[in-house]
Amino acid sequence: MNYRLFYDHVLSFDLSEVGRCILCHDPACSKACPKNVPAGDILRSLYFENYLGAAEKLGTADCMGCEAPCENACVLSSVAIPISIREILTNLNGSREQLPKRIIEEVDLSADICGIKLENPFLLSSSVVSSTYDMCRRAFEAGWAGASFKTICNFPQHEASPRFSAIRSHANSFCGFKNIEQLSDHSVEENMEIFRKLKEEFPAKVIVASIMGQNEDEWTSLAEKCEQAGASVIECNFSCPNMEASGLGVTIGQSEELIERFTRATKKGTNLPVLVKLTPNITDMVPMALAAKRCGADGISAINTINSITGVDIDTLVAQPAVQGKSIVGGYSGPAVKPIALRFISDMNGCEALKDLHLSGIGGIETWRDALEFILLGAGSVQITTAVMQYGYRIIDDLLKGLSEYMKCKGVPSLRALIGGAGSTVVDHQSIERDSIVFPVFDSERCIGCGRCYISCRDGGHQAITFDPKTRRPKLNGEKCVGCHLCRLVCRAGAIGTAKKAIRRP
């Protein structure tokens, strides 16, 4: 069984329950297990879609018949229904035969940024998660290949409090996250000392120096200082949405002329590879990337955060986050922005004139599957912030394990072979095939009779599904069905598949 089917069908119910897990630090459920099963770690691996890693952690343990002291220890037991840990682990144990099988045993996860070797493709993106020596040290020790350090500048920062807000999913995790945070509040020399110390202690890790100047001279001097202090790569922050003055942050990324001017100035100060971090707050990123290339940029980082207002407090009538009764437009990140980020990466990967530039993908990456999607659309490395803010550096374990196991099961020995692998499948509107229909197929045994497919098709589709109140089963009317597959998307039981063959429209 392939990865998608295993996710959609075998573990669909378990993953809904796993989604309730708090993902505790030092989980009490693991400590309570008399068989020393690391239940908390297994749940976390399942949460981040690392199924083979979860099964490996479970080992030969059989939880069936256990009195489940892990559930009594669950921190949710004092305020709600505890996670059904015994059932999840029992089902995982019973699903072993349906897990994807390895074709090869060894894979190479190494990548590079313009010839600068990365142990793996995962870096911290420029933000609070990579803003001090201690934070980067702990991330490097955990297994991250490198970090784009929080943007270094010569001018003082004046932060607001609070400065974060979030849009939450039904499981209460962030699906969208807003920040109004600015740049590094350390002096340039303090940051250079951090670079020197990190480079000395972690020579194999890649330090990406994110910089922002106020004029050409500052861009040049900052790049020069960062190289001398041990940076591996320079990243020009042409995209921060939270800078007030013109000629800074996002205003640069919206102007080809400013991109050219400051890219040229940065290249003047360094021999290191230079990445340009672009803003999604534009219609088309390709012209901006071409402007950067004309002046010597070696790669593009994309995307930075999206200008946003996440909501309004309906009691105080103040937009969020509220700072003494006021708010501002800020940068939106998290899983909700991933489709937008993938689109921009795909656009640049599809431009022949940009083929020789490195693409570093950013935006909504939480799992190894998210990262893989960026890689398949052309990214040679990926950067992550919001998921680390929510779950910690520890997510690197499942990122690495999940990606490596996928490659083993697919028989792909090198990560490099995956870069751009899906790029050619994104075509223009005139090139998509529109003359056939792929019908949905109902699995009556898996169907739980909820009727969600019927409601969605009736009120949001083409009224091609009827619902029998006696049998509580849906039925397809092929004469009305247009093959939109809305029914499949809303089915929580994984009970709707697709026909093996498409039919031609009359």
> What sections of 181-247 are H helices per DSSP?
188-201, 216-229
Name the token pair of 270: 């360094």
**240 has catalytic annotation:** yes
Rounded Cα–Cα distance for residues 158 and 177 (Å): 21
Which member of 29, 136, 240, 481 is catalytic?
A: 240
The three-class DSSP label of residue 464 is coil
122 contacts 396 by C-beta, under 8 angstroms:
yes
Rounded Cα–Cα distance for residues 320 and 307 (Å): 13
Distances (CA, A) of 265 to 89, 190, 215: 57, 23, 9
Name the token pair of 145: 């290949």
Rounded Cα–Cα distance for residues 442 and 57 (Å): 34
Q: Exposure pattern of 247-285 as b/e (b: 16+ CB <10 Å)? A: ebbbbbbbbeebbbbbbbbbbbbbebbbbbbbbbbbeeb
Rg (CA), the chain: 25
256 contacts 287 by C-beta, under 8 angstroms:
yes
75 contacts 24 by C-beta, under 8 angstroms:
yes
Distances (CA, A) of 492 to 48, 111, 189, 460, 484: 19, 37, 54, 17, 17
Name the token pair of 255: 């102007």
The number of CA neighbours under 13 Å toward the Cβ of 99 is 23
* Cβ atoms < 10 Å from Cβ of 423: 14
Give me the DSSP letters along 402-445.
HHHHHHHHHT--BGGGGTTTTGGG---GGGS--SEE--EEE-TT
Classify residue 7 by its DSSP letter: I
Closest CA to 237 of 263, 264, 217: 263
Closest CA to 42 of 82, 86, 81, 89: 89
Q: Label residue 392 exposed, middle or buried (CB < 10 Å: 0-12, 13-18, 19+).
A: middle
The end-to-end CA distance of the chain, in Å, is 34
- Which residues are the active-site residues? 240
